[in-house]
Copies of this chain bind each other. A is one copy, B any other.
């Protein structure tokens, strides 16, 4: 049994995206080679909602919600019934399987909130949970916080799209050996790999056979690049009863400042998640929930344009990194890049701090996403196009300066 001190050591946020401002410059001056590299600072730790502003109408929706007063301020813990009703129809259409607004859907404080509730509803001391590596860093921390045992599932991501994907043998072996929950993101965070139709149907079918609970984080599933296709697990023919799908408007739609997410699926788990929400923070902020009415209801052409603009940045940065010798997988969806840095004279954590100090570029160290990934860095490229390209060039320059 871990002490509470150990429990919180495992939750260190020193390198978490957005927390860099709390770091001290410390001994960086001694380590630094050459001069400060000028240029517009870019914070790749999260998307820039000034470059890609929130969905049109979202602040007006908030003001309408505020104007509705009490009934919008105090919703059920699982969220406003009329908003869930409208949302369920859209989420059902998007994912290819109906969602019951009354029993199968909960509105949460961000997708982070949805993940927390989903894992809190399924993981307790000793629960064996399959976690993909690399994957969103909070998955590992959540499993540990709730006392679960992590069973790692390797994700191949350095090959072609056809070669990439989760190790299905590892999945089957985990399911055969007492693992009762699998959590994963597709598109994968941090690599942008989209799980193939074959991988998704295999996972769904294996989980159904073994009675495994599936928690599928589809946060980025709307931002799909040219020529890519996406399989929604919940619409597969064989799916376990205990499946939870997680989405939210924080990324592609830039509504992160509203802290809104949704989880939908198993009635039993949604009910547990609401009970947990009741003691965690009661509900997603009432007035904010109103902004969900703009989701999947954007103006004609808005999503298509947003996708095109992100694809252009993706392609430009891939060009910069690849010509600079940084091995980088082509993201099939989403706005993350996960370039691998060649051997350097400084360790991965120091390089990340130097990038911020010397080059005005904030990235998230690969070590946050799984063991043995300290040679990679993650960038959220939802940024001003020109500033992002210049910043990527500074990263390449920094690699040259510190190359071993």
Contacts and interface: CB of A to CB of B under 8 A. Distances in A.
A141 B76 CA distance: 19
A interface, size bucket? 35 or more
A322 to B, nearest CB: 29
Given A116-B279, A125-B1, A288-B288, A66 B70 contact: no
A151 interface: no
A161 interface: no
B109 A281 contact: yes
Contacts of A110: 281-282
Contact of A257 (B4, B113, B287): B287
A8 B268 CA distance: 11
Given A18-B74, A21-B76, A66 B257 contact: yes
Q: Which of A74, A123, A257 has the most CB of B within 10 A?
A: A257
A8 B59 contact: no
Interface stretch (A24-32, A46-54, A163-171): A46-54
Contacts of A126: 1
A129 B50 CA distance: 46
A50 B76 contact: no
Contacts of A141: 278-279
Q: Which of A4, A54, A121 has the most CB of B within 10 A?
A: A4
A7 B276 CA distance: 10
Contact of A280 (B59, B76, B116): B116
Contacts of A22: 76
Interface stretch (A9-17, A86-94, A193-201, A332-340): A9-17
A3 interface: yes
A49 B63 contact: no
B257 A73 contact: yes
A145 B120 CA distance: 10
A259 B281 contact: yes
Q: Assembly of this chain: how many copies? A: 2
A46 B66 contact: no
A280 B280 contact: yes
A74 B46 contact: yes
A109 B259 contact: yes
A378 to B, nearest CB: 16
Nearest to A275: B11
Given A13-B278, A145-B276, 11 more contacts: A3-B124, A8-B276, A19-B76, A62-B66, A65-B257, A73-B256, A109-B285, A142-B279, A257-B286, A259-B284, A281-B281
Interface of A: 1-4, 7-8, 11-13, 16, 18-19, 21-22, 46, 48-50, 53-54, 59, 62-63, 65-66, 69-70, 72-77, 81, 108-110, 112-113, 116, 121-127, 138, 141-142, 145, 147, 256-259, 272, 274-276, 278-288
27 contacts: A3-B124, A4-B122, A4-B127, A7-B124, A8-B275, A13-B77, A13-B274, A18-B74, A18-B75, A18-B76, A19-B77, A21-B76, A62-B66, A63-B63, A65-B257, A108-B281, A109-B109, A109-B281, A109-B285, A112-B282, A113-B280, A113-B281, A142-B279, A145-B279, A256-B286, A257-B287, A259-B281
